Amino acid sequence: MLKESEYDIVIIGAGVIGSALANRLSKRFQVKIAIVEKEGSVGYHASSRNSGVIHSGFYYRPNSLKAKFCVEGNKQLQNYCVDNNIPYKKTGTLVVGKTKIDENNLEALLKRSKENNVQDGRIINEIELRKMEPFTDGKFALYSPMGSIVDSRKLVESLGFEAKENGVKILLNQKVISVKAKDSKIIITTSMTEISAKFVINCAGVYSDKIAKIMGLKLNYQIIPFRGEYFELPENKSHIVNSMIYPIPDPDLPFLGIHLTKTIENKVIVGPNAVLAPGKEAYRNKDVNFNELMEILSYGGFWKMLKNNRKRVEEEFIQSLMKTKLLEKVCDLVPKIELNELIKSYSGIRAQLVDDNGKLVDDLVVKEHENSIHILNAVSPGMTCSMPFADHIIENYVNKLNFKEK
Ligand SMILES: Cc1cc2nc3c(=O)[nH]c(=O)nc-3n(C[C@H](O)[C@H](O)[C@H](O)COP(=O)(O)OP(=O)(O)OC[C@H]3O[C@@H](n4cnc5c(N)ncnc54)[C@H](O)[C@@H]3O)c2cc1C
């Protein structure tokens, strides 16, 4: 019998990844689980500061974890939303193009979509595109009917609530400060108390590299925070977009480009860009965290990444400071938008891994280390992937611990 402060599994971080894992684990095993979260609620960071898109899965490299879990996660998430009354809507996704080069790129994306087993993706012509989105001036588009939007905050709250109902302890307002192995246990010291676990799952999002390092992992990469800023169109412009309108993605970058999304509240949001942030939670340029900024600047991989992507990084920064630049990008997708109609809204931070060679890591990364696993690079489409990803973690890492099934 475990004492009150002793757990079988402790999960660090109550974002959508930690909450989905707690949810799945508590349904399946007779285990005592705690989630430790430094904020006062679940899903406070990336998991509720995103586009809320349930992606179809056509963007991702075939056979990657992202491709596999996104396609499966799209179905599972939609079913979960129906079963749990979470606001979601199947709007479809459009990637629009205009030129011959765009056409070739969309054909390549369609091929990828088929390789990834995305359901019913197809290229549509201008007439069909205009029927779906009368205000875009694209000439054709890749259309995927599986693309949907969800209230991401309600989703993560529901996952957390269900886990709690299944007996998971959610320890809020407790920052994990140190994690040390002692005998056969792991001692987790938080800002409030000390607890122990047989097994730790690090789902600390943008801080997961730090937690991994304090637990003794040697990593050949570091998380570099890339902020995604959003703008909102005024209410009288909400008719201008019905679904989601994306540009052709740059195959060399893990970011999808500024897009327009009709949210579940019928607002149109524009974004996100991808600006280097001066801190892991620097939601505005002025939120500089000097220690974290120094850690970024003293990392060799950061400078190599900058050298490889200097033009894009500069463009994104200028675009963040000058709305006119952003407007050019937006009007390329939907022309009838004025500068004063781009109203500054929320922002989110991508927990983007950059390796020692300066490469932006593309796929989800899981590292195993002495009674613990570490989820790194849970960037987009991490929310869409969350449920099958949780099952993957259970099958490949937790099952071998032989916890008793319910
Ligand atoms: C701008 C943006 C747009 C995106 N759009 C989409 C989209 O449309 N669709 C999609 O599928 N995905 C999208 N994503 C990706 C998705 O949001 C993430 O993959 C997902 O939210 C990651 O979840 P997480 O649980 O790893 O991280 P988080 O939600 O950040 O959770 C990590 C948690 O760990 C906690 N924590 C950190 N350190 C500690 C500590 N020391 N002690 C205790 N707690 C700690 C944090 O407070 C936080 O709550 C987007 C992401 C961004 C940033």
> Other CB atoms closer than 10 Å to residue 367's CB: what's the count?
17
For residue 52, being part of any structural domain is answered with yes
120 exposure class (CB count in 10 Å sphere: 0-12, 13-18, 19+):
exposed
Structural domains counted in the chain: 1
For residue 17, being part of any structural domain is answered with yes
For residue 49, being part of any structural domain is answered with yes
Q: Which of 36, 41, 45, 283 to mutate to test the pocket of ligand 1 (most atoms within 8 A of CB)?
A: 45
Please check whether residue 282 is in contact with residue 349, taking contact to mean a CB–CB distance below 8 angstroms: yes
Q: State which residues form the domain around 43.
A: 1-91+149-220+362-406
For residue 378, being part of any structural domain is answered with yes
d(CA 343, CA 395): 45
* 14 Cβ inside 6 Å of ligand 1: yes
CA-nearest of 196, 283, 256, 260 to 3 is 196
For residue 385, being part of any structural domain is answered with yes
The confidence score (pLDDT) of residue 383 equals 98
For the CA of 18, the closest atom of ligand 1 is 25
Model pTM above 0.85? yes
For residue 3, being part of any structural domain is answered with yes
The confidence score (pLDDT) of residue 311 equals 87
For the CA of 39, the closest atom of ligand 1 is 47
* 24 Cβ inside 6 Å of ligand 1: no
d(CA 286, CA 277): 10
Pairing of strands 33-36, 6-12: parallel
Q: Which of 80, 379, 393 to mutate to test the pocket of ligand 1 (most atoms within 8 A of CB)?
A: 379
392 exposure class (CB count in 10 Å sphere: 0-12, 13-18, 19+):
middle
The confidence score (pLDDT) of residue 334 equals 95
For residue 127, being part of any structural domain is answered with no
Please check whether residue 94 is in contact with residue 142, taking contact to mean a CB–CB distance below 8 angstroms: yes
243 C-alpha vs ligand 1 centroid, how far in Å?
24
* 228 Cβ inside 6 Å of ligand 1: yes
Mean pLDDT in runs of 10 for the chain (406 residues)? 89 98 97 98 97 94 96 97 96 95 93 94 96 96 96 98 97 97 92 96 98 95 96 96 93 80 96 94 94 97 94 85 89 93 96 96 95 96 98 95 91
* 261 Cβ inside 6 Å of ligand 1: no
For residue 124, being part of any structural domain is answered with no
CATH number (domain holding residue 165): 3.50.50.60
CA-nearest of 352, 34, 109 to 224 is 352
With H, G, I as helix, E, B as strand and everything else as coil, classify residue 9: strand
